[in-house]
Chain A
Amino acid sequence: GAGVSQTPSNKVTEKGKYVELRCDPISGHTALYWYRQSLGQGPEFLIYFQGTGAADDSGLPNDRFFAVRPEGSVSTLKIQRTERGDSAVYLCASSLSSGLDEQFFGPGTRLTVL
């Protein structure tokens, strides 16, 4: 079956611009996670959705970051007024139902802010 997909695979933008990153989880997975991974580091938790609601957004670094999952499937991570420090690989993962399940990661979106 299809795994987690993310688009775009690469995004280059200029400082100050707005970007949207999309995640399409495995069908039927109610839990969805966003992570950010910088070079040589482990994935850093950003936000967790259970269904349509953000169950835990404690990892979002500031109010420039926002994520939605309006229908409980596809999720969009939105970054306003991008800064060079936002450059990283943004990973999405989904799991069947809860945090106790294994997470299936997508290929990531590499964001470069010039």
Chain B
Amino acid sequence: GQQVMQIPQYQHVQEGEDFTTYCNSSTTLSNIQWYKQRPGGHPVFLIQLVKSGEVKKQKRLTFQFGEAKKNSSLHITATQTTDVGTYFCAGRRTGANNLFFGTGTRLTVIP
């Protein structure tokens, strides 16, 4: 079956440091979405990537979709305490409607 893995599982950074999480799928994806889940909360949509090699930016967040559409990354520049939470990638196979969520990367920012 399809698997979407993320690394690292956990990341502790000092406030102001950068952070990157990587997402890898065992199969080619039609698109990938990223979600953020705060402790005790529910996933909140961040962005969707559709095109091979696509790069999108949201303020301090940069999202990339790999050329082969099997991997993706999220990079946060100069982390802030408000960035704390678990970041999930979620991929969709071509022709499918359901999302396969990754294992998540839990980010802790030390003030």
Residue positions of A touching B, CB distance < 8 A: 31, 33, 35, 40-45, 48, 50, 55-56, 58-59, 91, 93, 98-100, 102-108
Extra A-B contacts (10), CB below 8 Å, given A56-B96, A103-B43, A105-B44: A31-B97, A42-B88, A42-B102, A44-B101, A56-B98, A99-B98, A99-B99, A103-B45, A105-B43, A106-B42
CB neighbours (8 Å) of B102 from chain A are 42
* In the complex with contacts A91-B42, A102-B33, A107-B42, A43-B88 CB distance below 8 A: yes
Q: B residues touching A (Cβ–Cβ < 8 Å)? A: 4, 31, 33, 41-45, 48, 88, 90, 92, 96-104
Number of residue pairs across A and B with beta carbons under 8 Å?
A: 59
Known: A99-B92, A105-B44. A42 touches B98 (CB 8 A): no
Known A-B contacts A42-B104, A43-B88, A100-B31; A33 and B42 likewise in contact (beta carbons under 8 Å): no
**Beyond A43-B88, A56-B96, A99-B96, is A91–B43 a contact (Cβ under 8 Å)?**
yes
Chain A min CB distance to B79 (Å) = 21
Docked-complex contact A102 and B45, CB < 8 angstroms: yes
CA distance A99 to B90 in the complex (A): 12
Provide the residues of chain A in CB contact with B41, threshold 8 Å.
Answer: 107
A83→B98 CA distance, assembly (Å): 25
Evaluate contact between B98 and A59: CB separation under 8 angstroms.
yes
